[in-house]
Structure 1
Amino acid sequence: MGEVSLLLIIPLVTAVLCWKINIHIGEKLQITTALLNVFVSLLIANNVFFHAPITGWHHLIYIDALSAFNVMLIVLIGFVASLYSVGYMHHEVAEKIIDANKVRHYYLWFHLFLGTMLAVSVVNNLGFLWVGIELTTLVSALLVAFYRKGTSLEAAWKYLIMGSVGIAFALLGIIFLYLSGVDLFGESADSLNWTVLHQAAKQLNPQWTLIAFVFVLVGFGTKAGLAPMHFWLPDAHSQAPSPVSAVLSGVLLNTALYGVFRIYTIVNTTLDGKAASYLIFFGLLSIAITVPFMLVQHDLKRMLAYSSVEHMGIITLGVGIGGALGLYGAVLHMFHHSMAKSLLFFAAGNITQNYHSKRMERISGILKTMPITGSIFLIAAFAITGTPPFNIFVSEFTIMRAGFQSGHLVATVLFLLFVVLIFSGMMYYVVRMAFGEAPAKVEKKEMSRWSTAALFLPLVAVILFGLYVPPFFQEIIQQVAVVLQGGKS
């Protein structure tokens, strides 16, 4: 359990130190500690994937394959975002957008944000899981409002209000889930532990579990950006600093889905697979609702945010389709989306800083003004729209195969149609930004070495996993799929 304690303590200590010490020391420290947490998470993952789930702290902590997978995503994206943040914040200070003292607050809230997501991923008790997801909302709202402008404050308030409404629904769902087992467990302190509920899933009251799942799906689905509860997401992601947008899209949305899937594994067992149709419906709706917004978009970061709504829908659809292949594709897509979307937001951060605008009609000739960033941005855009030979294509194709094989023909054909339309809309804007004439007033330069170096880490995953998924990683994905299928790993 020492590794788990370190995993949770490191972000907290990092946040406090960065707030209190010299900022030049603090920014190097936060990179070092973020990298340290990557190694800690690898130790935990090794124990879980190659030995057995970790249980401790009087059954308060439980880390299985699903938990370990989400932890790895959080620390990987967190490390790359912490690296990227150094150059990004240097530029913001140099342009007098913020003062140096405000950078301390940025690192304080950034690492507390990572810590709250890690806590969500390792707790066994569903009540504490709810508390953790609520904390992610409170802390990340401060990062959305970081610039203290009218638009960022409005986005933060919208995020807080919709997140609070959603989390209230989720709380009701967890209460109803508790009621579904009250005859079995009485008032036992363990009656909200996932391990206990999962083991007794067949004996839970099916009416209460169905009601619980609907409330949880709406509640945590709001936080995950599933349509039609997604309206906070484009505002929040577009107004936050770009490294925060990358973390919001790359791992916070996954963490909210993690809450949905934790309860889904219980409910779907109780209902003999009937809960899957709800995931298919909300997944398809989320993909469909992205189409018109993608076609008429003007803001670069808002376009990327709507793309996140689409991909949360794809993951949800894959889990709803189910079966070994559908779940494998959904879990693989969680990883692929995290890598590709964080890469896109990092590249978009470089672009918007150099062009001093997020408006796509003002951004043109990226390949001429920023050859490295522009090339990576173009690759990431092709990847996120499911173009071969990049990583997203592999997981989307896997989910489509699963849909056809399992008989979900209408859902799969609609999925294919929506993906093609989204590809057309997004690439129309991307090609114009990449190949158009560069404005005379825009400097021909790359951003700082920190910002540029951070792009290459997720870029490797985007390219490599489109061509080859290593056998050990396939085994990890399969173990996570087993948990989602109702088993234990």
Structure 2
Amino acid sequence: MGWIWALLGIPVVTGLIAWRIKNLNVCERFQVIGALLMLLVGLALAFHVLTGSPITGAGGFIYVDSLSAFNLSLIVLVGFAASLYSVGYMRHELNEGVIVERQFRRYYLWFHLFLATMLAVSVVDNLGLLWVGIELTTLVSALLVAFYRKGTALEAAWKYLIMGSVGIAFALLGIIFIYLSGIDVFGDDLRALNWTALNQVADRLNSEWILIAFIFVLVGFGTKAGLAPMHFWLPDAHSQAPSPVSAVLSGVLLNTALYGILRVFIIANTALHGQAADLLILFGLLSIAMTVPFVLVQHDLKRMLAYSSVEHMGIITLGVGMGGAIGLYGALLHMFNHAMAKSLLFFTAGNINQKYHSKNIGRISGIVKALPVTGTVFLIAAFAITGAPPFNVFISEFTIMKAGFKEGHIGITVSFLLLIVMIFAGMIYYTIKMSFGEPPAKLKKKEIDRWSTAALFLPLTVVIVFGVYVPPFVSDAIHQVSQVLQGVH
């Protein structure tokens, strides 16, 4: 239990102390040390769970199994990379007069509190507390979306709060219906909303209430996860937030909301004898399909990456819905691969935005010449996120397609393949257009801050290595998590 309290406390303490440090150099280095400590503790906790058994405590309110450990690992990995990237990014914003010192320190407060809320979601057993945690992620991340306090940023944050709150309200109704489904089983037992207790008796729950509950949870948490057609907040929020925040929003916040769906899905799929999977397939394929027109006619770099996140949340959901050992493995591997590749893309987009002072695709050209390192990494990340071999996303997408054919979802799998080919064509067209040619004459051909460049190499290494080799310990961990999704006690 001590590891869990340490993991939750580190980002809170880091954010509060960084906020009060007057020396800005000390502030930014302190928050990197805090993020590194969070990374080490998080990975140690995940290793302990994956090589041992689930952790329970706090009177049944805390529960960390392999699914929790998997999500914790994603949060601390992307969180540390974004913390490192934030040093150069926020220093540039301060030097350019985009923000003032007070905003600089406040950024690190909200950034680390944001990480803490996502970590909290991943360690609670009670579904009511899980709902509270996801609501907290909305409130804290909205402050980061509105960070620049411009009209467009404030509008995006307001839209995010409204849609997020509506979604969360639907999810709350779903959790109430889960409670109703178990009244005959639990009576007045305080464990009636504990996931572990519900999972043990899933086949005895009222199937009609469970079906209604899962639909509400899927729509509610699906709004936060960026699933279509509830995804319209996402492009605005991602495009207006600081780029390191966009990386965390896309790389792990969406996964954390999806984590909430998966927790309920495990119960619902048992209670409904597999019918819950059909709903995931429907929402997954719809999310991929709705991405296509927005990517093909896009003019804003960060909005294009945001719509790509809608696509990939759909792919993960589709993979889980297709099921089977292969489908679940592919979906979980895709959660990891997307988190790494998309955070890398948002880091490069941040460098490009700061160099060109624009997110407009039509005004960006010659990135490879103007920013040799960033431009090259941007090309690699763009090909990776669109599923081109030999990069990591190709492996997980191919695994999901293989599962689709094996499980008999021929038409769905063919549709999936056609849709991602169209998205590939659109994104690569814009990527090539921005990457090559001549940069604007007045643009200095020099890399952004070394911190912003160095931070690219952590996710870049994963994007390249996992395209040709998935380490056995990672593969074994994903197989463990897939067993949890199959309802294996």
- Normalising TM by the smaller chain, what interval? over 0.9
Match of 2:18 in 1: 18
Tell me what 1:180 maps to. 181
Alignment of 1:274-285 (within 5 A): 274-285=275-286
Corresponding position: 1:171 with 2:172: yes
Q: Secondary structure at the match of 2:193?
A: coil
Residue in structure 2 matched with residue 248 of structure 1 by the alignment = 249
Query: Hey, what does 1:376 align to over in structure 2?
Result: 377
- Correspondence for 1:273: 274
After superposition, the CA RMSD in angstroms is 0.6
**Structure 1 partner of 2:9:** 9
Cross-structure match for 1:71? 72
- Partner residue, 1:57: 58
Q: In structure 1, what residue type is equivalent to 2:6?
A: L
Q: Partner residue of 1:202?
A: 203
Greater Cα shift, 239-248 or 183-192: 183-192
Letter of the 2:113 counterpart? L
Distance 1:141 1:436 in 2: 37
Letter in 2 for 1:173: G
Question: Where does residue 211 of structure 1 map in the other structure?
Answer: 212
Q: Deviations over 1:23-45 (max 9, x none)?
A: 32121111011111111112211
- Matches of 2:74 and 2:33, distance apart in 1: 17
Could you tell me how far 1:306 is from its partner in structure 2? 0.1
Residues 331-410 of structure 1 mapped to structure 2, 5 A cutoff:
331-410=332-411
Inter-partner Cα distance in structure 1 for 2:59 and 2:35: 28
Amino acid at match of 1:60: F
TM-score (norm 2): 0.99
Distance in 1 of aligned mates of 2:224 and 2:72: 18
Q: What SS class does the counterpart of residue 358 from structure 2 fall into?
A: coil
Q: For structure 1, which runs of at least 5 residues remain unmatched after alignment?
A: none
Aligned residue in 2 for 1:486: 487
Q: In 1, distance between residues paired with 2:359 and 2:456?
A: 19
Query: Quick one: distance in 1 between partners of 2:128 and 2:29?
Result: 36
1:402-446 deviation per Cα after TM superposition (whole angstroms, max 9, x unaligned): 000100011100000000000000000000000122111211011
Q: Cα deviation per residue 1:83-119 (whole Å; 9 max; x = unaligned)? A: 0001001100111011122111100100000000000
CA distance in 2, matches of 1:16, 1:50: 33
1:37 alignment partner in structure 2: 38
* Cα deviations by residue, 1:108-147 (Å, 9 ceiling, x for unpaired): 1000000000000000000000000000000000000000
Distance in 1 of aligned mates of 2:352 and 2:44: 36
Equivalent residue number for residue 158 of structure 2? 157
Identical residues among aligned pairs (%): 71
Code of the residue aligned with 2:161 in structure 1: it is: L
Using the alignment, how far apart are the partners of 1:419 and 1:484 within structure 2? Answer: 25
Superposed CA deviations along residues 265-300 of structure 1, whole A, max 9, x for unmatched, are 000000111110000000000000000000000000
Listed as ranges, the matches of 1:123-162 within 5 Å are 123-162=124-163
Q: Which residue of 2 aligns with 1:321?
A: 322
CA distance in 1, matches of 2:363, 2:185: 62
After the TM superposition, which segments of 4 or more aligned residues of structure 1 sit over 2 Å from their partners? none
Instruction: State the match for 1:477 in structure 2.
Output: 478
The DSSP-based 3-state class of the residue aligned with 1:190 is helix
Q: Deviation string for 1:375-395 (max 9, x for gaps)?
A: 000000000000000000000
| Stretch of structure 1 that moved more, 277-286 or 11-20 | 11-20
**SS of the residue 1:62 aligns to:** strand
Instruction: Give the match for residue 90 of structure 1.
Output: 91
Letter aligned with residue 21 of structure 1: I
SS at match of 1:58: helix
How high is the TM-score relative to the length of structure 1? 0.99
Given residue 276 of structure 2, which amino acid in structure 1 is its aligned partner? A
- 1:16 maps to a residue whose letter is L
Secondary structure of the corresponding residue to residue 203 of structure 2 = helix
Q: Which runs of 5+ in 2 are unaligned?
A: none
Does residue 259 (structure 1) correspond to residue 260 (structure 2)? The answer is yes
3-state SS in 2 of match to 1:55: strand
Pairwise CA distance, 1:460: 0.2
> Could you report, residue by residue, the CA deviation over 1:185-243 in whole angstroms, capped at 9, with x for unpaired residues?
11211110000000010100000000000000000000000000000000000000000
Amino acid at match of 1:53: P
Deviates further, 37-46 or 352-361: 37-46
1: CA distance between counterparts of 2:51 and 2:207?
Answer: 35
The alpha carbon displacement at 1:325 in A equals 0.1
How far residue 332 of structure 1 moved from its aligned partner, in angstroms, is 0.1
Q: Which amino acid aligns with 2:17?
A: L
Supply the AA of the counterpart residue of 1:58.
G
